[in-house]
């Protein structure tokens, strides 16, 4: 029996969870590797088997193992080129992976640096909607 996953559309009993991360490396692996929790079943042969792309499996696994930041950037670019060449996970025209809103008064909202989201947000009372007229 195949492992139960959320993509099985309720055709299993029990509970399931999936990996979610702000790390680009983990996100690429989760989406494009056949063992990833966001993998949706494309295949390199284009025959509908949904078993994935062995080359992307290899590339995304190597990306997770790389500790040198510049080498990791290079590997991530290679992964992006392969996905673009094969067009497995393209978005619907005009689509987006996410959309976030924040008040101007919330400092550090959505600030991103070196594979980490800043966790220290603060309220700036000099900005709207907190600023007194």
C-alpha distances (whole Å) from 107 to each of 10, 89, 104, 112 are: 41, 33, 7, 13
Residue with token string 């490396």: 25
Cα–Cα distance measured from residue 133 to residue 27, given in angstroms and rounded to the nearest whole number: 43
Instruction: Please report, rounded to a whole number, the percentage of residues in the chain having pLDDT higher than 70.
Output: 71
pTM of full prediction above 0.75:
no
Nearest alpha carbon to residue 45 among 86, 11, 98, 93: 86
Asked if residue 11 has pLDDT above 90, the reply is: no
- Is residue 1 very low, low, confident or very high in pLDDT (cuts 50, 70, 90)? very low
């Amino acid at each position: 029996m195949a492992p139960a996953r959320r993509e099985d559309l309720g055709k299993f009993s029990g509970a399931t969870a999936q990996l979610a991360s702000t790390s680009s490396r983990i996100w690429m692996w989760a989406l494009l590797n056949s063992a990833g929790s966001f993998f949706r079943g494309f295949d390199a042969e284009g025959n509908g088997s949904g078993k994935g792309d062995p080359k992307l499996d290899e590339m995304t696994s190597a990306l997770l193992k790389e500790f040198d930041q510049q080498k990791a950037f290079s590997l991530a670019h290679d992964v992006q080129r392969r996905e673009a060449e094969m067009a497995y996970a393209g978005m619907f025209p005009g689509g987006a992976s996410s959309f976030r809103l924040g008040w101007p008064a919330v400092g550090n909202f959505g600030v991103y640096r070196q594979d980490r989201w800043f966790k220290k947000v603060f309220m700036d009372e000099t900005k709207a909607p907190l600023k007194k007229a």
